[in-house]
Amino acid sequence: MKFRAFNITLDIKSLPDAARTICDWAVASDRLRYVVTPNVDHVIQLERSPRFRSAYSGASLVLVDGWPVAKVVGLLSKRAVDTVPGSDLVPAVFDEFSRRGTTAKIFLLGALPGVADKAARVIAARWPRLRTVGTYSPPFGFENDADESAKICSMIRGASPDIIVLGLGAPKQELWVHRHQEMLGDGVAICAGATIDFLAGSKARAPHWVRRLRMEWLHRMLLEPSRLATRYLKGMVLFPLYSAREILKAASRKV
């Protein structure tokens, strides 16, 4: 099901359904598709950035990440909406390949030097049928360097991965894959934020009980206050305003 809210068209899917869809696309390999997972911070940035909205419009799958977004979309669409964070989606895709008994090639782009290599070793141990065919930690500012971006595209295209995990952070990863989509070959690129770090163990994900309480955002903020505190504070102020606007718009359509 597709649903329009917050200036984007969302795909309302469960985590298993999203993983199955991505694996089907990766096997088809007829073109490069990319997947984005909007959370509260994305909603704030989408409001102010036409370039970010354009990147979202080019995505093949727009999955709800974050329970505040899921709650508002659920209220508007009058149906239960699951959250599908990138950090859950990537392992679910790998699990789906393993369940099918299918081999798959993975490319990891992002994180600090050496981190993706650690993640590749974890992938090899946990999902033996998967093969990491490339890792790369791009230098700071690479997205503004045409030669560097061309080199990365050539590297990825030459490796011919089924799945590209983009761990570059938002909106950089979404803007970059949208701009270079035609240069990357085929398969599926997943814009997955800190997922490479989580796989490698270089960043600790919140325990399951914290996630069940929907407090993973607080766990991350306490670990990285200088980077995340302002982002979450802005979300606490602006997201309720944008949500109220969406609810009022929906109510006015019924009148």
Encode pLDDT of 46-104 as tens digits.
Answer: 999 999 999 999 999 999 998 999 999 999 999 999 999 999 999 999 999 999 999 99
Could you tell me the pLDDT band of residue 236, with boundaries at 50, 70 and 90? Answer: confident
Contacts of 58 (CB under 8 A, 6+ apart): 34, 178, 181
pLDDT of residue 209: 61
Element (H, E) at 2: strand 2-5
pLDDT of residue 55: 98
The DSSP line for 150-218 is: HHHHHHHHHH--SEEEEES-TTHHHHHHHHHGGGS-SEEEEE-TTHHHHHHTSSPPPPHHHHHTT-HHH
CA–CA distance, 2 with 77 (Å, rounded to integer):
10
Residue, of 253 and 202, whose pLDDT is higher:
202
Would you state the pLDDT for residue 3? 95
Q: Give the whole-angstrom CA distance, residue 147 versus residue 101.
A: 38
pTM of the model: 0.92
Count of C-beta atoms within a 10 Å radius of residue 212: 10
Report whether pLDDT(177) > 70.
yes
102-149 pLDDT, tens digit each: 999 999 999 999 999 999 999 999 999 999 999 999 999 999 999 999
Q: Is residue 210 pLDDT above 80, yes or no?
A: no
For the segment 10-44, what is each residue's pLDDT rounded down to a tens digit? Answer: 999 999 999 999 999 999 878 999 999 999 999 99
Q: Does 128 or 233 have the greater pLDDT score? A: 128
Q: According to the model, what pLDDT value does residue 34 have?
A: 98
For residues 62 and 21, give the distance between their C-alpha atoms in angstroms, rounded to a whole number: 12
